Amino acid sequence: MIVDAVAPRTGERLDVAVSAAAGVSRSQAAKLVDAGAVRVGGVVRARSYRVSSGDRLEIEVPEAPPSPAPEEIDVPVVYSDDWLLVVAKPAGLVVHPAPGHPSGTLVNALLARAGRLPGEVERPGIVHRLDVGTSGLMIVAKREEAFSRLREMMTAREILRSYLALVEGAPPASGEIDAPVGRSPRHRKKMAVVAVVAGGRDARTSYRRLEAFDQTALLEVSPRTGRTHQIRVHLAAAGHPVVGDAVYGRDRKLASRLGLDRPFLHAARLEFEHPMTGERLELEEPLPDDLARALDAARRA
């Protein structure tokens, strides 16, 4: 669907103008601009472009995706109340429907359990995501008030997330990686450390070493921002990729020796204040069996 509109005000950011003209959220507007689906007087512009009053906007809005259907899929629930729940996502489970994965996702499972959820149609209730190969804790909002507050808390970095990662090599005892992350200029399906001027977004990850082995080390990793593939990209850029990571890893044989067929990355701990009650929640999820076996193998290597 093509939306033709006229910018009403001078000096407004393009993504803000698109949001108002097309009736979509600011984040959806930004995605449309980034995808080249918006033209100002026939010219594709960046989302930060400032429009002038009277500028003609051509906006290509994709058809709304069908609403996901409830499906009975077993997903462990670690915490639940009237406002939110925290689940332990298994590795291999896609978070929400997308091209190539129209069903069989975490969202389908959540709809079967909780019924109607707030947020975008294709990913209702989802406050933050985990990669398909990553296991562990995820927060899901049940009500609009909780959803809005949790998203604010994520942006303000008031939700502390800790992961366990087995990495290649011998990293220092602790460290912080501060490097922008964006689409790789050479491989568009991959992320990479990319200069801000080339489209990279601010990204910071801290870690501390828990155990050191012959060829690997176990880290506790805390992302301070939430970029796509951030932990995996940052650790790879630091020279210590996650063991078993087929996209950013280096030693494929190492993963095979440890019996891994996915990245050793697990969202192990969440700490945050309940968005509605203020209660302090501290939740932990132990390593799943496949990662526990791989860790034992690393200790024996």
> What is the C-alpha end-to-end distance of the chain, expressed in Å?
58
Could you tell me the maximum CA-CA distance found in the chain, to the nearest angstrom?
A: 69
In angstroms, the CA 14 to CA 86 distance is 36
Do 50 and 78 meet the contact criterion of CB atoms below 8 Å apart? Answer: no
164: β partners: 220, 266
Number of other CB atoms surrounding residue 207 within 10 Å: 27
Instruction: Write out the DSSP string of 165-185.
Output: EEEES---SEEEEE--EEE-S
Q: Specify the pairing of strand 216-223 against strand 265-273.
A: unpaired
Q: Is 131 a catalytic residue?
A: yes
Which residue, 110, 44, 48, is CA-closest to 73? Answer: 110
Instruction: Write out the DSSP string of 91-121.
Output: TT--SS-BTTBSSSSHHHHHHHHH-S--S-T
Do 276 and 146 meet the contact criterion of CB atoms below 8 Å apart? Answer: yes
212: β partners: 217
The residues, ordered by sequence, that sit 6+ positions from 293 with a Cβ below 8 Å of its Cβ are 259
Q: Which helix (H) or strand (E) holds 254?
A: helix 252-257
Q: Specify the pairing of strand 38-40 against strand 2-6.
A: unpaired
Catalytic residue among 55, 131, 245, 290: 131
Which residue, 246, 240, 243, is CA-closest to 258? Answer: 243
Residue identified by tokens 């095979």 is 256
Instruction: Give the catalytic positions in this structure.
Output: 131
